[in-house]
């Protein structure tokens, strides 16, 4: 009894020490070890250090707690404690995303688990390890290793290991954007029995996410209902568990809100918002706060309750706190649309203006980078001039030396002649280089001038029409709608133009980052076709031709999909009907070829500057990967030819 009281006092003291914010780290560490040394040598002593480690896992010195606890467990031959501590080592390195030490900790954990024939911690650690690998883009390896994990779990007759292998494989397929295979793996995991409540909730949550990414709302709703039914059952049996599941229930209700907000189902949206309000508090994660307030704003937008709608939009925007700039701009655009629908055009204009100003700040950053480029070119020219002056001085010294050394006249003449030829060649090369640099500078000046005009046009339209909407009270509803539409279109044009300029600048400077992975080019071409056909106001009829069933290449899927979309999709301001045909085939053993006929990017005469920028982006992107981009005409048809290496 006396020892039990001592242990309880030690645990309470350690938790109190960890919870005190003003306690110095070194003092806390020394106090913990002082308490540890005063405890009797038994398993409770090891458990004490493990519990304190859990509360201080973010501290660098917490690994010392594990070292002491592991030494104690090994000395006492307490294998179960050793196993638990090895798993905590893995968690320590996982918390710091230290991949090398995670591998080492996993090997040691596996050895102890095999020795104890208790495999739960080993498979849990392997699950996290493969998830991290998949999230970093190595999805193919993560899939293969998860299948090996399942074979190992079946051999060891560990049912939870089999369950985690299916979940791990499903997550790897999600990272690879193969949602059908991910759903198939998750469903196999749900069919395993028995499952703990936490495992059942986990796999249904993953299924919900996969259905959401796959845009299958009915199946997603069914999975959310299953999760809520499980949690409600637990709370009904144990009411005290409500606090443990508050955040989980809030996530479920906000997922419902996403669905009903997308389909504009106001009654169901309101029902789930009311339910979410029971579990929401301002201490929730930032993403949860944004989703909650935006869902309310969306509900009031649908129901046209403007007095409540716009304060909720303001709450949503205030939650960003300077992060996720592009997402914030989308929210401001939606808020501006709401002001337009409410007939509050002055506020709409101001909202659009703020969005445009944020875009303008990006534009200023771009111009600043171009200014730095001009200054760098100036320094190059100055260096070339100094070099030329130095060469002339050298010539003068050579001639003077030749006149002084009459005896060596012949040798001097030959030497000077050779130097002259070298200098002439060097001078010619420098002049050619100078001409190239000067031409490049001239082109950049013209480019900057044209781009400034391109940016000034939509920006002036937005500002002028915004002021017009604010100052004129005699405009008809049709005129107001027309001006608001023009403002929105010019804002979108300005944003697209700025992003294209940034992409072009990164490609020219070699600073563009790529996420290259193996992907099926046939499927990527089909994805581009689907993307264009699903675009709002689509005026394009697409025909995709190929004799290939599959063609795996190393490619940045997002960038290549953007390239294909740019040559297949007309600018949004152009409503002309197009019939486009594009064909995929082998150009050679090591190259594929895509031929696009009648691309809008060749025929849209009203947007010449934007087309030139897009052609330049496409050409530089393909040349980065040793590919090619050609514009040509054949049999009266205008063609874009894309060459891309297979290996």
- Kindly report, residue by residue over 244-259, the tens digit of the pLDDT: 888 888 888 888 888 8
State which of 487, 509, 531 marks the end of a domain.
509
CA–CA–CA angle 160, 161, 167 (5° rounding)? 90
- In contact, 59 and 27? CB cutoff 8 Å: no
Based on the domain organization, do 550 and 637 belong to the same domain? yes
The tokens describing 512, both together, are: 């563009």
Q: How do beta strands 591-597 and 578-588 pair?
A: antiparallel
CA distance 553 to 516: 10
What is the distance between the terminal CA atoms of the chain, rounded to a whole angstrom? Answer: 72
Residue 549 maps to which CATH number? 3.30.565.10
User: Cα separations (Å) of 585 from 109, 422, 545, 602?
Assistant: 50, 51, 9, 22
Q: Which residue has the tokens 């954990």?
A: 109
Q: Return the half-sphere exposure (C-beta side, CA atoms, 13 A cut-off) of residue 513.
A: 1
In the chain, DSSP finds a helix count (H) and a strand count (E) of: 24, 7
Asked if the model's pLDDT at residue 381 lies above 70, the reply is no
Q: What is the pLDDT of residue 169?
A: 92
- Residue 178, SS3 per DSSP: coil
- List strands edge to edge, sheet with 628-634: 540-546, 578-588, 591-597, 637-645, 628-634
Q: How do beta strands 540-546 and 578-588 pair?
A: parallel
Is 172 part of a structural domain of the chain? no
pLDDT-based confidence at residue 624 (cuts at 50, 70, 90): confident
CA distance 321 to 484: 28
CA distance 178 to 171: 10
Based on the domain organization, do 523 and 460 belong to the same domain? no
Is 154 part of a structural domain of the chain? no
Is 77 part of a structural domain of the chain? no
CA distance 164 to 159: 9
Between 93-97, 112-116, 221-225, the lowest mean confidence (pLDDT) is in 93-97
State which of 480, 509, 538 marks the end of a domain.
509
The tokens describing 89, both together, are: 């080592």
CA–CA–CA angle 245, 246, 251 (5° rounding)? 95
Based on the domain organization, do 592 and 525 belong to the same domain? yes
Asked if the model's pLDDT at residue 620 lies above 50, the reply is yes
- In contact, 148 and 133? CB cutoff 8 Å: no
User: Cα separations (Å) of 410 from 98, 397, 404?
Assistant: 72, 17, 13
Between 150-164, 254-268, 316-330, 428-442, the lowest mean confidence (pLDDT) is in 428-442
Is 331 part of a structural domain of the chain? no
Q: Return the half-sphere exposure (C-beta side, CA atoms, 13 A cut-off) of residue 208.
A: 22
- Residue 578, SS3 per DSSP: strand
Residue 293's closest CA among 267, 266, 311, 275? 311
Q: What is the pLDDT of residue 9?
A: 38
- In contact, 580 and 540? CB cutoff 8 Å: yes
Q: Running DSSP on this structure, what letter comes out for residue 630?
A: E
Based on the domain organization, do 474 and 397 belong to the same domain? yes
Q: pLDDT of 181-217, one tens digit each?
A: 999 999 999 888 888 888 888 888 888 888 888 888 8
519-544: b or e for each residue (b if 16 or more CB lie within 10 Å)?
bbbbebbebbbeebeeeeeeebebeb
Q: What is the pLDDT of residue 3?
A: 44
Based on the domain organization, do 523 and 445 belong to the same domain? no
Mean per-residue pLDDT for 434-463?
A: 62
pLDDT-based confidence at residue 234 (cuts at 50, 70, 90): confident
Is 450 part of a structural domain of the chain? yes
Is 455 part of a structural domain of the chain? yes
Based on the domain organization, do 398 and 277 belong to the same domain? no
Based on the domain organization, do 475 and 365 belong to the same domain? yes
Q: What is the pLDDT of residue 319?
A: 79
pLDDT-based confidence at residue 1 (cuts at 50, 70, 90): very low
Residue 382: count of CB within 10 angstroms of its CB: 10
Q: Which residue has the tokens 């198939």?
A: 184
Query: Can you give the residue range of the structural domain that contains 535?
Result: 517-645
Based on the domain organization, do 382 and 403 belong to the same domain? yes
Based on the domain organization, do 530 and 548 belong to the same domain? yes
Count the domains in the chain. 3
Is 556 part of a structural domain of the chain? yes
Q: What is the pLDDT of residue 14?
A: 44
The per-residue DSSP string of 134-156 comes to HHTT-HHHHHHHHHHHHHHHHHH
Report residue 169 CA to chain centroid gap: 21
pTM: 0.47
Based on the domain organization, do 461 and 564 belong to the same domain? no
Q: pLDDT of 588-609, one tens digit each?
A: 888 999 999 888 877 765 667 7
Highest mean pLDDT among 17-21, 62-66, 235-239, 465-469: 235-239
- In contact, 493 and 458? CB cutoff 8 Å: yes
Is 542 part of a structural domain of the chain? yes
Between 104-113, 156-165, 419-428, 490-499, the lowest mean confidence (pLDDT) is in 490-499
State which of 263, 290, 323 marks the end of a domain.
323
User: Cα separations (Å) of 2 from 16, 36, 48, 275, 366?
Assistant: 21, 16, 17, 49, 72
Based on the domain organization, do 499 and 635 belong to the same domain? no
* Sign of the Cα pseudo-torsion (374, 375, 377, 378, in order): positive
Based on the domain organization, do 361 and 309 belong to the same domain? no
């Amino acid at each position: 009894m006396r020892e039990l009281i001592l242990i309880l006092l030690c645990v309470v003291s350690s938790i109190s020490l960890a919870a005190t914010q003003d306690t110095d780290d070194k003092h806390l560490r020394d106090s913990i070890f002082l308490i540890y040394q005063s405890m009797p040598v038994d398993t409770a002593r090891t458990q004490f250090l493990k519990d304190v480690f859990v509360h201080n896992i973010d501290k660098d010195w917490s690994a010392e707690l594990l070292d002491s606890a592991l030494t104690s467990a090994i000395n006492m031959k307490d294998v179960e404690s050793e196993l638990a501590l090895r798993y905590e080592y893995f968690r320590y390195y996982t918390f710091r995303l230290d991949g090398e030490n995670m591998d080492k900790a996993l090997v040691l954990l596996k050895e102890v688990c095999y020795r104890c024939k208790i495999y739960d911690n080993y498979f849990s650690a392997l699950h996290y390890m493969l998830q991290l690998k998949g999230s970093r883009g190595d999805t193919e390896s993560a899939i293969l290793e998860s299948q090996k994990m399942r074979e190992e779990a079946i051999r060891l007759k560990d049912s939870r290991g089999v369950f985690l292998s299916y979940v791990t494989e499903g997550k790897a397929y999600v990272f690879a954007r193969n949602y059908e295979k991910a759903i198939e793996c998750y469903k196999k995991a749900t069919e395993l029995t028995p499952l703990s409540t936490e495992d059942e909730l986990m796999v249904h949550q993953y299924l919900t996410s996969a259905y959401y990414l796959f845009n299958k709302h009915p199946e997603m709703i069914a999975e959310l209902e299953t999760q809520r039914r499980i949690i409600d059952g637990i709370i009904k049996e144990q009411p005290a568990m409500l606090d443990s599941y508050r955040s989980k229930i809030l996530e479920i209700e906000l997922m419902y809100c996403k669905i009903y907000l997308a389909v504009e189902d106001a009654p169901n949206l309101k029902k789930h918002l009311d339910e979410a309000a029971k579990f929401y508090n301002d201490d929730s994660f930032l993403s949860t706060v944004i989703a909650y307030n935006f869902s309310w704003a969306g509900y009031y937008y649908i129901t046209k309750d403007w007095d409540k709608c716009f304060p909720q939009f303001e709450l949503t925007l205030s939650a960003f706190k300077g992060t996720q700039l592009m997402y914030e701009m989308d929210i401001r655009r939606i808020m501006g649309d709401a002001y337009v629908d409410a007939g509050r055009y002055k506020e709409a204009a101001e909202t659009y203006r703020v969005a445009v100003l944020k875009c303008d700040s990006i534009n200023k950053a771009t111009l600043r980078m171009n200014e730095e480029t001009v200054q760098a070119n100036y320094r190059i020219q100055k260096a070339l001039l100094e070099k030329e002056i130095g060469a002339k001085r050298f010539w003068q010294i050579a001639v003077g030396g030749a006149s002084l050394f009459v005896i060596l006249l012949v040798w001097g003449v030959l030497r000077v002649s050779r130097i002259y030829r070298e200098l002439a060649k060097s001078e010619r090369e420098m002049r050619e280089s100078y001409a190239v640099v000067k031409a490049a500078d001239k082109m950049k000046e013209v480019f900057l001038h044209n781009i400034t005009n391109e940016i000034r046009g939509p920006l002036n339209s937005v500002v002028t029409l915004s002021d017009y909407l604010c100052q004129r009270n005699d405009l008809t509803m049709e005129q107001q709608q027309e001006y608001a539409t023009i403002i929105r279109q010019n804002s979108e044009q300005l944003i697209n133009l700025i992003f294209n300029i940034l992409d072009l600048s990164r490609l020219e400077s070699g600073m563009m980052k790529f996420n290259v992975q193996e992907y099926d080019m046939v499927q990527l071409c089909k994805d581009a076709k689907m993307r264009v056909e699903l675009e709002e106001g689509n005026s394009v009829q697409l025909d995709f031709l190929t004799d290939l069933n599959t063609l795996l290449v190393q490619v940045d899927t997002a960038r290549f999909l953007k390239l294909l979309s740019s040559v297949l999709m007309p600018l949004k301001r152009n409503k002309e009907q197009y019939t486009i045909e594009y064909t995929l085939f082998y150009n050679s053993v090591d190259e594929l070829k895509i031929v696009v006929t009648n691309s809008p990017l060749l025929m849209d005469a009203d947007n010449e500057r934007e087309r030139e920028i897009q052609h330049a982006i496409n050409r530089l992107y393909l040349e980065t990967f040793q590919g090619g981009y050609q514009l040509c005409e054949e049999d009266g048809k205008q063609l874009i030819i894309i060459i891309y290496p297979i290996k």
